[in-house]
A and B are shown apart, each in its own frame.
Chain A
Amino acid sequence: MTSFEAVIGLEVHAQLLTASKIFCSCAVSVGGEPNTRTCPVCLGLPGALPVLNAEVVRLAVRAGLGTGCAIQPTSVFARKNYFYPDLPKGYQITQAELPICLDGQLTLDDGKVARIQRIHLEEDAGKSIHGDSGTRVDLNRAGTPLVEIVGHPDLRSADEAVAYLRELRGILVTLGVCDGNMEEGSLRCDANVSVRPLGQDAFGTRVEIKNMNSFRSVRDAIGYEIDRQVGLIADGARVVQETRLWNMDLARTESMRSKEEAADYRYFPDPDLPPLHLDPAWLAAQRADLPELPAARKARYQQALALDARTAAWLVEEPARAVAFDQAVAEAPALAAPFAAFLMTQVQAQLQRSARPWPELAAAMPALLATCGKWRGGQLSNKMLTELLQAAFADPARTLADALAHAAAQAGAVVSDDGALEPVLDGVLAQFPAEVAKYQAGQRQLTGFFVGQVMRALGGKADAKAITALLARKLGG
């Protein structure tokens, strides 16, 4: 029986993190009452003209630099003509022949290089809501800035496609280009999938898959589609060139009503927008302004912090997580590897069971590091650690950082016996003889000062009443 190989290329749309829309000054945001963030430009009123947002250019250039693209000194906006209710002008402004970035690549974890054909800027359409009384159109989203990142058909399996998408997402999020949220649609992925007998050079008939809004959907949909196409060929049938939608509930791709004929979009340069020229000095400054990208960060984790490859990959996958991790371990590099493992195992296990979002976890990174330190230092047993984490993650009234502190306190790890407190207090008294003299002369308000010093010395984990009592006994109350 013939073996087949899949040929996959991804088209990724990323919503740019700007305040205003691409061609007008309306706010970009999700949700809200319909048609409350529009103006003559994004409604396509007669006489309204597009004016390009500078931040859109900066972010597209960052995306291009982050993916090794050649940034084009001149790019041109074009009109893509078609009628649809959520497309107000009857054309979409996009870039056709001369996009802003060309010829990039991503290196996947296994060292495979997947090429990027182009990155171009375009405006998003509005939203059509289909109902019994008709189709309702909300144009709040119309004019939201997007980059489309078009990959070459270099991917050979669903897993590779997911790896490519993860790598790309990591770069875009690290660069602040896009928030990377697939569920909310700020990162969208379409896949072109075909199969061919192993060893054959020519591509098979390709099918475009849409409507995949998670990494899992991407893996499942592409996997399903490869199987479907191989099955068709094995049965002697033919793959039809078409667009199919991923139906997550039924776990299958389904044919969209096929268009009667190929669309003719009549692309031509938009006369309302002169060519976009990039200043070489500005471009050089953008290049110099790039932060550490996920691949470099991953390499650093392995080389400088001695993390294993899997843990390093897991950390960088979510750039906010990696940034918070870097900040937390900056002061304690020796703890980096165990802390990373701790995050990926114990903390991740809790996280999957809780509703805590990552940004909150990032804010709790110092507290997590402290907890990890105690655990590593033997001050918390495994059982105590698990209980502590469970309690903290399940505490809806507090932020995670506060909940960890609270749980730690509840865990009873406070120092309260005189045997442990006395040497600390003795040290404090020896350090502040003048205050001791004043206290003994009757200035009892200095009690708070001494308690504070002992607390500080014990990292806040001491019993204030016990210290007060011990102080009174030592200096005479």
Chain B
Amino acid sequence: MKKAERAAIYGTGRAYWHRLKMDLIGHKWLYLMLLPGLIYFIIFKYLPMWGVVISFQNFVPFSGVFGSQWVGLKWFRYFFSNPSWTRYLANTLLLSVMNLVFYFPAPIILALLLNEMKHARYKKLMQTLLYVPHFISIVIVVSITYVIFGSSGIIYKLTQQLLGTEIKYLTDPKLFRWMIIGQSIWKETGWGTIIFLAALTNVDVQLYEAAMVDGANRFQRLWHITLPAIRSTIVLMLVLRMGSVLDTGHDHLILMANSLNRSVSQTLDVFVYQQGLQSGQYSYATAIGLLKSVVSLILIVSSNKVAHMLGEDGLY
């Protein structure tokens, strides 16, 4: 909203503050209900943000935030002087792009498929079964992968028999990202359908009936009615996703990493974990975390802009 527009609606100067006061008094119960949420965000989200100050210090827990030595941009220089930082960034981005291309559309497609199901009870059963993997810990998912893809595992033996070559699923760096994406899809696709299925229930049934009268086939109905109806949800999810492009998580990757695929499994998150928790370099890890946050902020703001340009509501 432009400044002039806002002034036209709410007035300027004293008039604005007067209106705000009247509004606060008039809707005092609504504002009171907002308070707990506001307090939560201040205490748990905004106050801890001051912790980023340690990324400019040589932080020693015993000396505390106020007693630690101020080193300015030392840790940022340290990070960029490490010849491997481009590799960490490339690994992070590649994994994220693959996530976006292969993992992001999966729940949408699955939700559309579920939506087309005629038999209501069978659909319910399928939904429930599809949610199950979400509740399995990633540690278990990785262990299962090791059992079936390892050199005595069923899939390894199967491909060995069929193709005549040994495919090293667990150690080949070329296959590493596919394994990660595959596991993510297996685990989270079913759960991810929830939000799209909810959006799909809002589609007016009369639209389908009218389209059927006009002679639209199933695919045409899907393309012209269903997809446009959930488009804003998809864009919203995509914008949110953009904010976490640099978040690869570390637990899943560390579990799947080994000495032969380290060149592709080292992402920024894994590096932060190694430096911060394993080596106790809190300042260094915080500095890299801060860099990541800045990039994420830029991405989320610009992708929201793009969404607006395309005529969508976007995130805000």
Q: A and B: real partners?
A: no
